[in-house]
Amino acid sequence: MNKEFESVSNIKSNLAFPTSISELFQRLIIDTKLGEFDVPLRLRGDGIQMRYIPTILNYIARESKFYPIWGFDEPENSCEYRLAKELADDFSTTFLKHSQIFVSTHAFNFISLEGGKITGYRVFKDEEDINTKILPIDDKNRGLLEDDVGALLLNKKFAELHEKSLKENDANKKIIDDLKRELENKEKPVIMLEGPSDKILFEAAYHALFDKSIYEDYILNNHLTSTDGSIGSGAYLMNQYLYNHICKVPSENTIIGIFDFDKKGYDEFQDIGKRNVFDNKEEIFRFKNVINRKDLKNVFAITIVPPDHRSTFYDLDNSDYCYISTELLLQDKEIPKANRKLPAPHYDKVFSFKGKKTSFAKKIEKKCSEGKEIDFSGFLKTFELIRNIVSKQSK
């Protein structure tokens, strides 16, 4: 068994029996070699552990007088591409010689397996029935399966071309690059903003702070316009979308809806947070205004995070005293007095933004394009929260 595991993983290992008789029939101790050290298998990565389990089962099956039946739920879990491919190959060429194997999987490495001893089924529920259906995969329903697994099939196409990379020509290389780019774009986190002016300012801020386009790391929602102005924008409609309509869009991307921290934005954020489909995640992210859908764990809603220079521009307990829209993440020197709305006459300690937001945002964008320095540091805390959410979602 040590030799078999080394042949599939290139890792030397030692199987040792427990010293206690009471433990003998409960478990084996498996040590793997890491340089000159012995490291228990349970302390190695999940992918390496996954390579060992079927090796043990295959050895038992080969030596047994019985004919075993295996049941594997997503054997590709925690395996990077090369290991998942090798594992799928072993299942289809070696392990099936001694066992009947049932595998539930979303991985193209397994879905794409073919052969006389391999049969594929699509297991699903439709919207009109609570019962699970099982259909053999054929030309008739293969398209439905492709819809189910989505971006994984892009991976399959990419892998097929990658296998021929030594012989590829310039045209094939372009196809590979395009598919890889398409796959990366499909997997990017999605940032949803209230309106077109927010989008312009977030784009400019990200480029200024991180010296790259925001679209290298995220997807931003579009805002349609007509002669009457922006269509479908605003805090209320984003509330409705995150509550009523997000479930109609099949996506595994992390989706973060960002509300302004002014009265309108905060009222809508609080309204959606009170609904029983959302959980507050303050303890995890150290910011009160972070909520996560219970049924769609990839969907979040937040408010913009107040920067230090706006510490008096909000009140967590009363939205009437909240004034921070995206424009106010900028420093005061960037906001003309004509765009400042005071809460009361002769009161100038706090203010909200007034005027045409899109026109203001385009002026800031133009200043940036002309090489003028704009202080976007007020956006940093919001970007840090976004990255924190994405990072925890990817683990």
For residue 21, the tally of other CB atoms under 10 A from its CB is: 8
Q: How far, in Å, CA of 301 to CA of 238, rounded?
A: 10
Q: What is the pLDDT of residue 238?
A: 92
> Residue 355 region, left (φ>0) first, then alpha (ψ -120 to 50), else beta?
left
The answer to whether 285 touches 385, Cβ cutoff 8 Å, is yes
Q: How far, in Å, CA of 201 to CA of 334, rounded?
A: 12
Residue tagged 């479930």 (tokens) = 247
Dihedral (C-alpha) 383, 388, 391, 392: value to the nearest 10 degrees?
A: -150
Question: CA angle, 88 as apex, 83 and 92 as ends, to 5°?
Answer: 150
Helix (H, G, I), strand (E, B) or coil at 330: coil
Name the residue ranges covered by the structural domains of the chain: 2-118, 189-394
pLDDT tens digit string along 279-301?
A: 999 999 999 999 999 989 999 99
Check if CATH label 3.40.50.261 holds for domain 2-118.
no
Evaluate if pTM is beyond 0.75: no
Q: What is the pLDDT of residue 28?
A: 56
Q: What is the pLDDT of residue 159?
A: 64
For 172, the token pair is 């094939």
Residue ranges, the chain, pLDDT below 50: 21-22, 24-26, 166
- List the beta bridge partners of residue 231: 224
Question: CA angle, 191 as apex, 365 and 80 as ends, to 5°?
Answer: 125
Residue tagged 């903003």 (tokens) = 193
Selection from 290, 338, 342 nearest residue 313 by Cα: 342
Q: What is the pLDDT of residue 26?
A: 47
Q: How far, in Å, CA of 350 to CA of 331, rounded?
A: 13
